[in-house]
């Protein structure tokens, strides 16, 4: 029984630690990026979600709970306390991370009419240098697209 609980503890710790690793969406190499140009038609203030849900809170909470659980009892009871502490700490750490760091932030929705006549809408962090009627570049695509002023 003790071997099973020890194995379960090691497996849980491995799963919690591996939650930190993420596969990147880019290929890591140099490449080309299309930069479109156009004129700003409209700018509206809005909010956007942050990207802070990294799992660090769950990992740190799980490790803390595991450490506290190891101080309780001995033998099989200690192993159970370690597993319970790791689970409770992971849940609490994840909750704390979302509560403190995963809050909406101020942003702007910029609508640009590109040279082809198509309207493109981009939500990005506020850039005070942008204004209606300004000639701009649209760099990137998807969630990584940003509107940048032309010229210096």
> Is the confidence at residue 42, as pLDDT, over 60?
yes
28 assigned to some structural domain: no
85-105 burial, b at 16+ Cβ within 10 Å, e below that, comes to bbbbbbebbbeebeeeeeeee
55 assigned to some structural domain: yes
pLDDT of residue 106: 83
Q: In angstroms, rounded to a whole number, what is the distance separating the alpha carbons of residues 18 and 150? A: 43
26 assigned to some structural domain: no
Q: In angstroms, rounded to a whole number, what is the distance separating the alpha carbons of residues 133 and 147? A: 13
69 assigned to some structural domain: yes
pTM: 0.48
Q: For the residues 3-10, what does the mean pLDDT come to?
A: 70
pLDDT of residue 110: 92
116 assigned to some structural domain: yes
Which range of residues forms the domain containing residue 79?
Answer: 2-21+33-149
Are the C-beta atoms of 35 and 139 separated by less than 8 Å? yes
Alpha-helix residue ranges (DSSP H) falling in 2-142 = 2-18, 56-69, 75-101
Number of structural domains in the chain? 1
Read off the pLDDT band of 24 (50, 70, 90): very low
27 assigned to some structural domain: no
Are the C-beta atoms of 41 and 112 separated by less than 8 Å? yes
137 assigned to some structural domain: yes
């Amino acid at each position: 029984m003790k071997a099973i609980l020890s194995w379960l503890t090691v497996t849980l710790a491995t799963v919690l630690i591996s939650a930190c690793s993420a596969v990147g969406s880019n290929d890591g190499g140099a490449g080309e990026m299309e930069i479109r140009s156009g004129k700003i038609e409209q700018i509206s203030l809005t909010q956007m979600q942050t990207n802070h849900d990294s799992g660090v809170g769950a990992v740190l909470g799980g490790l803390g709970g595991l450490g506290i659980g190891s101080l309780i009892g001995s033998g099989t009871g200690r192993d159970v306390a370690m597993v319970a502490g790791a689970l409770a700490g992971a849940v609490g750490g994840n909750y704390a991370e979302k509560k403190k760091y995963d809050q909406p932030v101020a942003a702007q929705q910029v609508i640009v009419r590109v040279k082809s006549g198509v309207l493109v809408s981009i939500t990005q962090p506020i850039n005070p240098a942008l204004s209606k009627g300004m000639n701009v570049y649209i760099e990137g695509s998807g969630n990584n697209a940003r509107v940048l002023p032309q010229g210096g």
